[in-house]
A and B are shown apart, each in its own frame.
Chain A
Amino acid sequence: MSGTCETIMASNQTLFSYVLRLADDHLILSQRLGEWCGEAPTLEEDLALANIALDLIGQARALYAYAGQVEGKGRNEDQLAFMRYERDYQNLLITEQPNGDFAHTIVRQFFISAYMDPFWRRMESSKDEMLAAIAAKASKEVTYHLRHTSEWVIRLGDGTRESHERMVEALDDLMMFTGELFEMDAVAQEMLQSGVGVDASDLKAEWQHTVQTILQEATLELPKAGHMQTGGRTGRHSEHLGHILSELQYMQRSFPGLTW
């Protein structure tokens, strides 16, 4: 009896970690995209990037709220999103990379959307009903993100010499953060085995196919995969995350415990 209880406790802790890291991915990426507000190359694109950022915030909120529920310690979405230390954030490194120029932002979003698109589709059949429900909504949204960013990849790759060169540089800069997308650590393995999580390593072929098809149309090439950076899932981040958090957490840290 007590054995069963411990198993449930252990898997709750794992589920908490699994949901929390997904929430962190979406929060940090939305924080980055939010930086574009009022800064985009056209007014239409300003609205489009804000739309994507809003979808991501929505996904992050659903995930944090669920993580809080799974954890069962009474932490709400804001306590999880705002009140942790840098090493406790478990987002993928690619999500925290700076916006750079528009080419970097588009490549970052394209790489991630091409990954999240099959990820959410598979998650729709998760045994965990809440994750399946979050996935059902998110997968519709990410289809649009993928289409939108694919169109820009093609435009910018095929457009002018300058835009092409900027895209090549963005691809080169971000390629080393893509390996982490497909890693399966112990948390992800346990979630996969219990029918809750997605086999990220199994998404690689589809990701490569999507990315290469679009890059080909854009007259671009996927850079050769060299050493892949890793560490986000264990809280070993790039230097950028601390700055993101110092803005993100400013109000909650300055005025702790208040309602806004």
Chain B
Amino acid sequence: MYSQGLIGADGQTHEDAAFLAAFQARIDAEQKIEPNDPMPEGYRKTLVRQISQHAHSEIIGMQPEGNWISRAPSLRRKAALLAKVQDEGGHGLYLYSAAETLGVSREEMTEQLLSGAAKYSSIFNYPALTWADIGAIGWLVDGAAIMNQIVLCRCSYGPYARAMIRICKEESFHQRQGYEIMIALCNGSKEQKELAQDALNRFWWPSLMMFGPPEGDSVHSNQSMIWKIKRFSNDDLRDKFINASVPQAEKLGLTIPDSDLKWNEAKQGYDHGEIDWDEFWRVVKGDGICNRERLKNRRRVDRDGAWVREAAMAHAQKRRARMASARIAAE
């Protein structure tokens, strides 16, 4: 989510050397940058892009899971899923607020999402086909998101870092909840275990893609890294995720769908097979099975809700006017 938010980010900036050096000194001293602090335009733009794409991902991410609320298999699971999807809406709200501190409005960001100008995490263009997908999404997709987001709690931009602390707490709850769904499936019948394995098969590779493509050696000269918006390379985070997830899959008795996956004693981590980056780019660019549908849904919701928002505004204006005239009459 986070790395994808930086794809195509324009860190270009035009301030003079003294300004940039003073800013960099604050970053290097691990001082948090706050909304009214001077900051390079490139820093501001990079953050707006990343935070808004993160917010959009939360909002679009409500769709695949929302799709299962009406069909959840028990009342307890239904309540937990609804609460989870609600949390995602809440995360979207904090993140839009964090981005607004950088001088962009929620309306503008929404417009960018609806027009297709802004992206969201490509994982949400994969469909949630069975109940087990709800488990796999919690376990793997939220798990991958946490790997990214834990680091973002130390991001140099204060409002983003603080929003992320709260989001991380909720995400880790979601991740445990997802894993618990997987445990129930894997302790269940043969059919349930098959559902779990099938969901893992479909969500494993897209989860690995969530970290974004390898950046190669150039990563340390990456402007986002220098500004401490980003703190680890995509590959480093992906490796951490794989190392954490493999033992979890083993505990479930499930097989990771990667025949090249093996423990590397020297690096004390797993080596993995080739990721299909063609698929990644295809989905990022709009050709996943759900891309069109996700955006169309969002546009429909925006359109259907327009009269409600207009009515709320109109009522607020009328009320203000009535209160003002009552005040005048009283004087």
Contact = CB atoms under 8 A, between A and B. Distances in A.
Interface in A223-252: 247-248, 250-252
Contacts of B262: none
Secondary structure type dominating chain B contacts: helix
A50 B305 contact: no
Interface residues of B, number: 50
Interface stretch (A51-59, A85-93, A127-135): A51-59
A44 B77 CA distance: 23
Interface residues of A, number: 48
Contact of B312 (A34, A39, A159): A159
B69 interface: yes
Interface string B302-331: 001111111111111011000000000000
Interface string A34-49: 1101111111111100
B268 to A, nearest CB: 37
Contacts, number: 141
Given A102-B305, A163-B310, A260-B131, A34 B69 contact: yes
B66 A38 contact: yes
A177 B321 CA distance: 37
A21 interface: no
Interface of B: 59, 62-63, 66, 69-79, 82-83, 85-86, 89-90, 92-93, 96, 131, 181, 184-185, 187-189, 191-192, 297, 301, 304-316, 318-319
26 contacts: A35-B70, A38-B66, A39-B304, A40-B301, A41-B306, A43-B59, A43-B93, A43-B96, A44-B93, A58-B79, A77-B75, A78-B74, A102-B305, A155-B311, A156-B308, A159-B310, A160-B310, A160-B311, A160-B314, A162-B311, A163-B310, A166-B307, A247-B71, A255-B73, A255-B191, A258-B191
Interface of A: 27, 31, 34-35, 37-47, 50-51, 53-54, 57-58, 60-61, 64, 77-78, 81-82, 101-102, 154-156, 158-160, 162-163, 166, 247-248, 250-252, 255, 258-260
